[in-house]
Chains A and B, each alone.
Chain A
């Protein structure tokens, strides 16, 4: 075997602290290495061409590139060697940037370590075998999880691309957080007027199947061939019969049910349709408040319903859908303001979240669009907004900026003046973060045209005094303490990951960060992909996002799905486990440990044996480590190859 070694400078990234020429020279001494050189940028076009040229001229059988992390450029170099006619698996990479040059400044020690890592790669390469991918068919349907604006956009774009879409939403209607908003910034246009038509499109699109009141229960399979089990929660109303006439709501005697849509500001009936534009417009019974469930008698709705749709006996149902791709668009939740004891959120009735205030401003809200204090229904004359409640605060475990709070606070200050012309608004802020198109102009308008007083500083405490609230804080520009007497205090609660997001991530086998937000494959270059093939992200499930960004990401995820569906067949990764049928004793340990269910038991001449399902295997290697016989081996990472690496490192 003839091996070529290329040591990359990566500009000064590597060459600054590693003697790359010496690494190349040392590599010439390794067994079977017939060519070695150092190169400025191995990944650049001339760098790649040099590799191709060397393979052809020297007749190389395999290539080692000592450069950066394989996460970054392994696919690049695999394509390079392939271009020169080699199998793409006759390539190894030594990471001498992240593992060497970036973490140490000692040139001598770094160079020695770089040589050792390169030797390891060369020793492994000597035992590499060409591997060939297999092709498999794909199912061109897509599952979208979450019916907020990002999910709606992704679903509509995929459906317009002529693909069948399954949209799963946990609440009884789609629309998400955006449906609860009164107006949107910076255009101050009506939120439901722009979202409403999109929601109707979802309902009417022949390619979209909508499962409301449903959750993803289980995800099996792999890219192109996912099998998803969906749980349909009972609505206690037969939606095939319900016409959404609303008669049941009018007559329901239980009027104390939690009103999720109005953020708990009001109460609703136990059987209800959350809002007039709801999609699907179907009634749902809340069993915690329904008298039929709590007291065992009532059934007024059942008697009145003209279509006899009420069904108190309804049970959970499960449906299974086959899809080829999944878009996660589960959105965010609002930070729990009661974690700030000093602000009295949850304790003081007139200290509310911005989303609650949004419902007070909305014409379809609990007060019909008249701003009234929740405690006594009086119109507030002084409204104080407090920003960064649950954002940029390590002490409550939310050190990140939620991004949109500055903007919606400015919007709400403007709307307050529109609703109550003789009112005063104050905003306590830390910094104004308004980087979008027309955003800074918008916050300036709140200050300059609408006379909102911006006070730079944090609020230390809020407490009641008579029927008013004292808001005590600092004005860091004046260097003094300030106290304001407010009628209503609106806390700009930050965003946090949706409840249950980590559990869904585990079902989808995608990663999430410390805060529960889903991780993209690359923060800059692969923003809507995940590390699991075929699963994409849209909207605030990946991090706090405003409407334009969520919509853009929804479309981006859809375009990725459509691009994948443009192919009829996908290639699987040949780095999978193989069973040596002669060694296998059929103990089944590999079947137990495989997290993907990729190993099954087969009968071989009356003996039980393990068999790997090639398309399901993800190449994690757990089975290999488990097998007592060493009968199951992960291609490209066999025991022999790993032992060769260890031996190369432990040279006398």
Chain B
């Protein structure tokens, strides 16, 4: 059992509950022990670091200090925005003067800055696509064509994030491939979806997210897979807005990669929060099912079928 201090982030308790839920379920199933950080607070998200690096770092610093007390290998979070705040803080704290200023603001000083990683990195490094493929030789996601979408901050800036390629990341692709999904060569993997501009400039988000949906649709994707709560929301929730900008209809399920891993592992529906998705995922499940009907050799077909039925 590998122990990690788990930081769900604010969105994990609100807008992206299904990400948090499915992360917990998948990690449990794969033998990764998530230990919740007691009394964690918001990392400041986008606003804090645009106003004041010191304040932003103190917010993350508090969480880092709390995590230090736990017996964990690393602090992990599913949310790329939390990740970039935490890793940015660790990066800045290497400057002794800055660390001193941050610690002055904190009740409990940051002592040793533990390593911070994304859940995606942990799944890629600790479990890995090979282990996943061995565990599931029947390739449960076979027949599903996915466009993997990482968002713009998961791997950037590269010198801070230090994981995967910042222009052409592959971690999610590897996991999906291991589970049998066909990963399409989605060229806009790290393009911006418009992020939090959804509030002040809906048109910008509709255009940018529309382009992502359009490209994925043109490639013939059954579904998109994301790793970021905000990206998922923009792509999933705004398909109507995107449609009016692009002049095309979209019906593209947008999954969290943890949800699809959960489906592949045969975890119960409820634990994956599939019902929280705006666009019904039935297209994706149909794709998997039709494939399985063509090839009745698959061992897990019987086990999976009722589940997909419920959903569609």
Q: Which residues on A are within 8 Å of B, measured CB to CB?
A: 340-342, 344, 347, 461, 463-466, 470
Contacts and interface: CB of A to CB of B under 8 A. Distances in A.
Q: Identify the 9 closest CB pairs spanning chains A and B, nearest first.
A: A463-B187, A341-B167, A341-B168, A342-B167, A341-B165, A464-B187, A463-B188, A464-B185, A465-B215
6 contacts: A341-B168, A347-B168, A461-B187, A463-B187, A466-B218, A470-B187
A344 B186 CA distance: 12
A340 B168 CA distance: 9
* B interface bracket (residues with beta carbon within 8 Å of A): 10 to 19
Contacts of B167: 340-342, 461
B222 interface: no
Interface in B187-217: 187-188, 191, 215
Given A342-B167, A342-B168, A465 B188 contact: no
B150 to A, nearest CB: 12
Contact of A465 (B166, B191, B218): B218
Interface of B: 165-168, 185, 187-188, 191, 215, 218
A470 B188 CA distance: 11
Nearest to A342: B167
A466 B220 CA distance: 11
Contacts of B188: 463
Contacts of A463: 187-188
Contacts of B187: 344, 461, 463-465, 470
A461 B165 CA distance: 14
A466 B219 CA distance: 8
Contacts, number: 22
Nearest to A340: B167
A189 B215 CA distance: 44
A461 B218 CA distance: 19
A364 B179 CA distance: 47
Nearest to B158: A395
A343 to B, nearest CB: 8
Contacts of B165: 341
Contacts of B166: 341
B66 to A, nearest CB: 36
A347 B186 CA distance: 12
Contacts of A347: 168
A347 B187 CA distance: 11
A181 to B, nearest CB: 30
A318 to B, nearest CB: 43
A163 to B, nearest CB: 52
B22 to A, nearest CB: 29
A342 B167 CA distance: 5
Contacts of A464: 185, 187
A397 to B, nearest CB: 13
A341 B168 CA distance: 6
Contacts of A466: 218
Nearest to B185: A464
A342 B218 CA distance: 20
A350 to B, nearest CB: 13
Contacts of B185: 464
B219 to A, nearest CB: 9
B170 to A, nearest CB: 10
A515 B311 CA distance: 58
Contacts of B218: 465-466
Given A344-B187, A463-B187, 15 more contacts: A340-B167, A341-B165, A341-B166, A341-B167, A341-B168, A342-B167, A342-B168, A461-B167, A461-B187, A461-B191, A463-B188, A464-B187, A465-B187, A465-B218, A470-B187
A56 to B, nearest CB: 63
Nearest to B191: A461
B131 to A, nearest CB: 26
B115 to A, nearest CB: 25
Contacts of A342: 167-168
Nearest to A339: B167
A80 B189 CA distance: 70
A466 to B, nearest CB: 7
A468 to B, nearest CB: 12
B70 to A, nearest CB: 36
A465 B188 CA distance: 11
A396 to B, nearest CB: 11
Nearest to B168: A341
A465 B191 CA distance: 15
B83 to A, nearest CB: 20
A342 B185 CA distance: 13
A461 to B, nearest CB: 8
Contacts of A470: 187
Q: Which of B168, B187, B191, B218 has the most CB of A within 10 A?
A: B187
A153 to B, nearest CB: 41
Nearest to A463: B187
A259 B284 CA distance: 43
Contacts of A461: 167, 187, 191
B194 to A, nearest CB: 15
Contacts of B191: 461
A494 to B, nearest CB: 18
A342 to B, nearest CB: 4
Nearest to B186: A463
Contacts of A344: 168, 187
Nearest to B169: A341
B228 to A, nearest CB: 19
Nearest to B214: A465
Nearest to B188: A463
A381 B65 CA distance: 60
A287 to B, nearest CB: 31
A621 B3 CA distance: 57
A463 B168 CA distance: 11
Nearest to B187: A463
A565 B218 CA distance: 70
A527 B166 CA distance: 41
A69 B165 CA distance: 47
B207 to A, nearest CB: 12
Q: Of B167, B185, B215, which is in contact with the most chain A CB atoms at under 10 Å from its CB?
A: B167
Contacts of B215: 465
A376 to B, nearest CB: 16
A476 B165 CA distance: 27
A341 B164 CA distance: 11
A467 to B, nearest CB: 12
Nearest to A347: B168
A463 B187 CA distance: 5
A341 B167 CA distance: 5
A622 to B, nearest CB: 39
B147 to A, nearest CB: 12
Nearest to B167: A341
B151 to A, nearest CB: 15
A464 B184 CA distance: 12
A340 B158 CA distance: 13
A584 B312 CA distance: 93
A463 B215 CA distance: 10
A403 to B, nearest CB: 26
A603 to B, nearest CB: 61
A146 to B, nearest CB: 35
A344 B167 CA distance: 9
A349 to B, nearest CB: 11
Nearest to A472: B191
Nearest to A464: B187
A344 B185 CA distance: 11
A465 B211 CA distance: 12
B269 to A, nearest CB: 36
A342 B215 CA distance: 16
Contacts of A341: 165-168
A136 to B, nearest CB: 54
Contacts of A465: 187, 215, 218
Nearest to A469: B187
A350 B165 CA distance: 22
Nearest to A395: B158
A463 B186 CA distance: 9
B174 to A, nearest CB: 16
Contacts of B168: 341-342, 344, 347
